[in-house]
């Protein structure tokens, strides 16, 4: 397990809290916090796929959209995304395109997938595997605070 500073742990715990909140509205429990290089929170996001019918409304993508709209795209560069669960390939690619330089996540993909009924369309492509295909490095830290992140999942 990689260690986090107290500020980083607080950001990840906030992402986990957002995940718990969105689950109460019928969404899958995923939350995200985007922080600047100085640790300032730039935006937060929750999974709103079920509530909105938007299949791209994953927590990380929602946070990126909010930060981009409010602060401009340049503000997304050299940031850290704190995600309650391991980001999917779509969100990983979006973070890369935005210039996110670090990703910290709580619950790993296999454990998150095990919390839900089997889905034949589920992608078993891990974040590290997506990042390995990209030309610029992105630091990946996780899983950390895994049991805290898992506590908001069903079962």
Asked if 8 is an active-site residue, the reply is: no
Distance CA 106, CA 118 (A): 21
Q: Comparing C-alpha atoms, which of 5, 19, 10 is closest to residue 84?
A: 19
- 108 to each of 22, 53, 87, 97, 111, how far by Cα in Å? 19, 25, 9, 22, 6
Q: Would you call 137 helix, strand, or coil by DSSP?
A: coil
Q: Catalytic: which of 7, 60, 146, 148?
A: 60
Give the count of beta carbons closer than 10 Å to the beta carbon of residue 5: 9
Give yes or no for a contact between 48 and 57, defined as CB atoms under 8 angstroms apart. yes
Q: Comparing C-alpha atoms, which of 62, 65, 102, 97 is closest to residue 82?
A: 102
As annotated, the active-site residues are 60
């Amino acid at each position: 397990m990689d260690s986090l500073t107290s500020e980083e742990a607080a950001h990840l715990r906030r992402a986990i809290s957002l995940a718990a909140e969105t689950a109460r509205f019928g969404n899958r429990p995923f939350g995200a916090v985007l922080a600047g290089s100085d640790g300032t929170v730039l935006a937060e996001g929750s999974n709103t796929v079920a509530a909105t019918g938007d299949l791209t409304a994953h927590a990380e993508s929602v946070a990126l959209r909010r930060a981009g709209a409010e602060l401009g795209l340049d503000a997304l560069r050299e940031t850290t995304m704190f995600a309650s669960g391991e980001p999917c390939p779509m969100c990983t690619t979006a973070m890369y395109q935005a210039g996110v330089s670090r990703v910290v996540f709580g619950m790993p993909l296999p454990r998150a997938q095990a919390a839900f009924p089997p889905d034949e369309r589920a992608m078993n492509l891990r974040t590290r595997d997506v990042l390995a295909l990209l030309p610029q490095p992105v630091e990946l830290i996780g899983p950390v605070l895994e049991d805290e992140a898992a506590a908001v999942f069903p079962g």
